[in-house]
């Protein structure tokens, strides 16, 4: 289920963060709220919109032929997603928790980019950033051990989440496992190992709040 919060012109001050120049463009924006677990768009659906996370978190994933799920990316507050190089979405996007996203018509953005060099450059930066993430993820899945994968994930979340002392993960361990290409049990063992070694600590009953006690040792595991 989704609820339309408002639909406004991009002339408002809080236009898309990474595409700040759009605040002076003729782009129509809408904000929608998705409940936890709700689908934002499905694989093969027409990619008519581009999205930005305002609150909450989103996962993009594919279901494999044998029923397994492979998560390709987590989209956190401020992230822009759904920008495709074709006419259809290649992944399904789903709200991990109650989430609010901003929508922008893809065709409108492309039209502005044709005449606005700054917007065109922003799109290029976003595209190359997505490519870099895909390459890093491919390396992680193909060449790293299970402990190295978990260490790499924690370092990635440490860079992307804004809390200074506590890393509040919106995703479950099952999500982490499906992102890293591991089993739930393997992820749990790796986190327990890092906890026993004094590299991280847990807060709360769900253990989704993590305190990184030794970032240097964690980074060494990701070498």
Q: How far apart are CA 191 and CA 44, in angstroms?
A: 35
3-state secondary structure 188-210: HHHHHHHHHCCCEEEECCCCCEE
- How far from 196 is each of 25, 32, 215, 217, CA to CA, in Å? 53, 42, 15, 13
Q: What domains are defined for the chain?
A: 2-141 (2.60.120.10), 144-221 (1.10.10.10)
Q: Out of 3-17, 49-63, 192-206, which region has the weakest mean confidence (pLDDT)?
A: 3-17
- pLDDT at residue 98 in the model: 97
pLDDT 10s digits, 13-29:
333 444 444 444 455 57
Q: pTM above the 0.75 mark?
A: yes
pLDDT 10s digits, 89-136:
999 999 999 999 999 888 877 777 777 777 777 777 777 777 777 777
């Amino acid at each position: 289920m989704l609820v339309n919060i408002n639909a406004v012109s991009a002339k408002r001050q809080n236009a898309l963060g990474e595409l700040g120049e759009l605040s002076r463009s003729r782009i129509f924006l809408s904000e929608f709220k998705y409940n936890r677990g709700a689908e934002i768009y499905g694989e093969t659906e027409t990619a008519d919109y581009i999205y930005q996370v305002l609150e909450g978190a989103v996962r993009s994933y594919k279901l494999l032929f044998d029923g397994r799920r492979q998560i390709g990316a987590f989209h956190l507050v401020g992230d822009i997603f759904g920008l495709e190089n074709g006419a259809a979405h290649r992944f399904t996007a789903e709200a991990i928790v109650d989430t609010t996203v901003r929508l922008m018509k893809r065709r409108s953005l492309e039209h502005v980019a044709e005449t606005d060099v700054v917007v065109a450059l922003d799109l290029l930066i976003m595209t190359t950033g997505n490519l870099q993430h895909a390459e890093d993820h491919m390396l992680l899945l193909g060449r790293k051990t299970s402990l190295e994968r978990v260490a790499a994930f924690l370092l990635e979340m440490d860079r992307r989440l804004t809390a200074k002392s506590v890393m509040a993960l919106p995703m479950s361990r099952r999500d982490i496992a499906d992102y890293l290409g591991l089993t739930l049990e393997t992820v749990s063992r790796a986190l327990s190992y890092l906890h026993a070694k004094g590299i991280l600590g847990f807060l709360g009953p769900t253990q989704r709040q993590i305190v990184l006690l030794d970032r240097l040792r964690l980074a060494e595991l990701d070498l």
